[in-house]
Structure 1
Amino acid sequence: MPRYYFDTSANEKFVSDDVGVEIASFEDVKREASRAIADLAKDVLPGSEVRTLAIQVRDEVGPVLRVGLRFEIEHVGVR
């Protein structure tokens, strides 16, 4: 089974995955990346006004998938 590495970034903070995980199919890789970015968002978005999150998935050769999420609170009107 191929091993995939899920590197994360939140704004300027980058964390490299040095362990990786074995995943059978590329469809499963996409599902895992989607779950991972949702979990990351739950941890870092509360209290944020602007945040850009990304997970880059790579195999032993290089990048194979990137999942991104941009969160922004925009104040409209005067309160």
Structure 2
Amino acid sequence: MPRFYFNVVSNAGMVIDLEGSDLATIEDARREAVQDARALMSQAVLSGRDISARKIHICDERGTVLLIVAFTDTIRRAD
């Protein structure tokens, strides 16, 4: 099973995921990144901060970026 790493990227820098997660597919990794982004934004909103400009880079074991999940893409917009 492949190991995926979820690095959180902001204008101030990057928080590197040193542990990673064993997941079956890149789609499973994308779903985990979406959940992580939503959880981080929820905590930030409760603290009065806006971190919606951040992104999660999903990387493989070599550090190659496989997919980028923007925090703003994880929010369902009400019309």
Q: Which residue of 2 aligns with 1:58?
A: 59
Gaps of 5+ in 2: 73-79
Instruction: Name whichever structure is richer in helix by fraction.
Output: 2
- The question of whether the paired residues in 2 share the 8 Å contact of 1:7 and 1:15 is answered with yes
Which residue pairs with 1:23 in the alignment? 23
Higher radius of gyration, 1 or 2: 1
Identity value in percent: 31
Name the count of aligned residue pairs.
Answer: 70
In structure 1, distance between residues paired with 2:49 and 2:36: 19
Change over 3 Å in CA distance of 1:49–1:43 after alignment to 2: closer
* TM-score w.r.t. length of structure 2: 0.74
* Structure 1: tracts of 5 or more residues without a match: 71-79
Deviations 1:17-40 (A, max 9, x none): 011010011211111111111011
What TM-score does the superposition give when structure 1 sets the normalisation length? 0.74
Deviating 4+ runs (over 3 angstroms): none
Deviation at 1:53, TM superposition (A): 1.6
